[in-house]
Structure 1
Amino acid sequence: MTQPTENLLDWLRDAHAMEQQAEKMLKAQAERLEHYPKLRERIVQHITETEGQQRLLVECIERLGGSTSTLKDLAGKLMAFGQAVGGMTMSDEVVKGAMSGYVFENLEIASYTVLIEAANFSGDELTAEACRSILKEEIAMADWLREHLPEITRAFLSRSATPGEEAKR
């Protein structure tokens, strides 16, 4: 039998690994963006948010008597590395990167929605509040990407159709 707090702690470790993966992916994407300054600026802002989210998650994990999972964190970083390398080979890297970012943000939204409920069920208001704070940032990033996907797509298509202009990144 597994106690609710044990599940909460395990899911917090998963979220920490997910944020490690997000940081690695976002940094790789930001480093490569050359011709899409608004997207790069928003990604850099979200990197700062992601680093803060990681700190909040560590506080929650430690308050519950746990520690982060080195194995999960490493797996997340390796997945991010693979995604970054794969993106480098695509001619439409910026569009696919923005789409992937939107999908990943929605995975994070689902994760924090579950964590809030698990924390509430476990009577851990501090963790629930931390996750609500993180959830707001993830929703804001997903909304930004959804709203700007058409603009990013138009900019890519325009650059792609213009001789001598690089559209990829």
Structure 2
Amino acid sequence: MADLHENYLDWLRDAHAMEEQAETMLKGMAKRLEHYPVLEARIKQHINETIEQQRLVESVIKRYDSSSSTFKDVAGKVAAMGQAMGGMFASDEVVKGAISGYVFENLEIASYTSLIATAKAVGDTEGQRIFEQILEQEKAMATWLLENLPDVTQQFLARSKAPHTDAKR
């Protein structure tokens, strides 16, 4: 039976893998958004936040003299690459990508909410502070995606009606 600290470390590794997956997914999406500059700019901003989040989660893992799970990191990247590659063939890739991004942000929100509670339980005030900071960034990105989804959808619909226009990206 896993104790509190083992669960905490396992969930920290999960968070690191999740951020690796997010980076891969976001970079894949950003490459294909040339006709959606506002979405592209926000995705690129969040890529930078995600890279910093990885570093912050890694710093908590290192304080507990443990390392991130290479298997989980690789598995997350492979899953994200598969998702990005699958979207390349969808005619409505930009809309589905924005929806998937919103769903993924909510997964991250739930994960960091749980990590905050666990950090409190183990007395890791520095980890709690880090996860609260990350949680705010994830909430901001989810809110932005939700608020901008109608515009992205409308842009896609307008582009898809125009002759000789690539609406997909």
Matches within 5 A, 1:41-120: 41-120=41-120
Matches within 5 A, 1:126-165: 126-165=126-165
Instruction: Provide, for residues 115-144 of structure 1, a one-character-per-residue CA deviation record: whole Å limited to 9, x for no partner.
Output: 000000111111111000000000000000
CA RMSD of aligned residues (A): 0.6
Whole-Å separation in 2 of the counterparts to 1:54 and 1:67 = 12
Whole-Å separation in 1 of the counterparts to 2:70 and 2:37 = 34
Counterpart for residue 166 of structure 2: 166
Whole-Å separation in 1 of the counterparts to 2:139 and 2:107 = 11
Quote how far apart the aligned CAs of 1:2 are.
Answer: 2.1
| Gaps in structure 1 of 5+ consecutive residues | none
Whole-Å separation in 1 of the counterparts to 2:119 and 2:66 = 15
Whole-Å separation in 1 of the counterparts to 2:126 and 2:7 = 16
Is the aligned partner of 1:33 residue 2:27? no
The 3-state SS of whatever aligns with 1:32 is: coil
Is the aligned partner of 1:22 residue 2:22? yes
Whole-Å separation in 2 of the counterparts to 1:7 and 1:125 = 17
Runs (4+) off by over 2 Å: none
What is the identity percentage for the equivalent residue pairs of Structure 1 and Structure 2?
A: 61
Quote how far apart the aligned CAs of 1:159 are.
Answer: 0.4
Corresponding residue pairs, total: 169
TM-score (norm 2): 0.99
Whole-Å separation in 2 of the counterparts to 1:149 and 1:43 = 13
TM-score (norm 1): 0.99
| Gaps in structure 2 of 5+ consecutive residues | none
Whole-Å separation in 2 of the counterparts to 1:135 and 1:71 = 24
Whole-Å separation in 2 of the counterparts to 1:6 and 1:27 = 32
The letter of the residue matching 1:127 is G
Instruction: Provide, for residues 44-90 of structure 1, a one-character-per-residue CA deviation record: whole Å limited to 9, x for no partner.
Output: 00000000000000000010121010000000000011001100010
